[in-house]
Amino acid sequence: MGRYVIRRLLQMIPVFIGATLLIFLMVNVMGDPIAGLCGDKQCDPATAAQLKKEFGLDKPVWQQYLTYMGHVFTGDFGTAFNGQEVTELMADAFPVTIRLTLVAIVFEIVIGIALGVVTGLRRGRPVDTGVLLLTLVVISVPTFVTGLLLQLLFGVEWGWIKPSVSPDAAFGELIVPGLVLASVSLAYVTRLTRTSIAENKRSDYVRTAVAKGLPRRRVITRHLLRNSLIPVVTFIGTDIGALMGGAIVTERIFNIHGVGFQLYQGILRQNTQTVVGFVTVLVLVFLVANLLVDLLYAVLDPRIRYA
């Protein structure tokens, strides 16, 4: 296990460098960031040259990337064009998005897996058909439609929640936004769990456990569910980074000033330092989440051992 962890950590290095390089190049071709600093009017050549020199944009792209990565390894993600440190923006945005992501993940695990187990054990019955139709509807409806609908019903018509989240963004205020953020992923988790349960239900080891006279609850929890969760854990692990980076629509609807909000503002204002800094951290989240998922395989399935 120790060798496997070391090998995976070493593999993460080129992946991290390649991903950040690609992001850095893509962000730098979005447009001229200096033009956004001057507003609607075009910058005069002297001011544009001074601003480019100040932010290091007068250097070649490869040199800008090397300089940026050198600063990243010291914990310096640069300065936004408004003069605020990117690390300060991260300190304000990431705790909010992490809380929102935790709420969404809880919905995925509790509701998604529970519905998947119920429908997988009752495949072909009315409850199975009903849940499949419901998840298909959830997947088909865009997130912004779901978010606006729940905001209108719960926040405006019924008054159960505030239409917009306060700057503190407590867990209680993030329940409905978390449900909106997790809605599509929750539907996929339900369908994935259902399929995995239904397939493993016909496996020889399950039949053997039933033939031995083991209680039904033990057969489901210790044998059937444990092996069926492997693809589900894979999906949820990779979905963590996607939820944190893909919350732009949800955060805009409920006025949540998290990572999605900062990325939207950075793209809108062509603030390369902000966009690259936030996406760099999201790349690290993806890599760490994938590593943890691989390590969980050995816990869920005793047949898997990493040498």
Read off the pLDDT of residues 29-86 as tens digits, 9 standing for 90 and up: 766 666 656 655 666 677 667 766 766 666 777 777 888 788 788 877 777 766 678 8
Q: What is the pTM of this model?
A: 0.80
Instruction: DSSP for 223-283, please give it.
Output: IIHHHHHHHHHHHHHHHHHHHHHS-HHHHHHTT--SHHHHHHHHHHTT-HHHHHHHHHHHH
Residue 34 lies in a domain: no
Amino acid at 155: G
Read off the pLDDT of residues 49-60 as tens digits, 9 standing for 90 and up: 776 676 666 677
- Count the domains in the chain: 1
Residue 64 lies in a domain: no
For residues 258 and 96, give the distance between their C-alpha atoms in angstroms, rounded to a whole number. 5
User: Percentage of the chain with pLDDT > 70?
Assistant: 86
Q: What is the largest CA-CA distance in the chain?
A: 84
Supply the range of the domain harboring residue 191: 88-271
For residues 265 and 259, give the distance between their C-alpha atoms in angstroms, rounded to a whole number. 10
Residue 79 lies in a domain: no
User: Percentage of the chain with pLDDT > 90?
Assistant: 7
Residue 51: the pLDDT is 67
Residue 77: the pLDDT is 78
Mean pLDDT over the full length of the chain: 81
Residue 165 lies in a domain: yes
- 263: domain CATH number is 1.10.3720.10
Looking at per-residue pLDDT, the higher value among 268 and 160 belongs to 160
Looking at per-residue pLDDT, the higher value among 235 and 7 belongs to 235
Residue 280 lies in a domain: no
Residue 188: the pLDDT is 92
Residue 107: the pLDDT is 92
Beta strands in 77-142 (DSSP E): none
Residue 147: the pLDDT is 87
Residue 124 lies in a domain: yes
* pLDDT above 80 (res 204): no
Residue 238 lies in a domain: yes
Residue 264 lies in a domain: yes
* pLDDT above 70 (res 226): yes
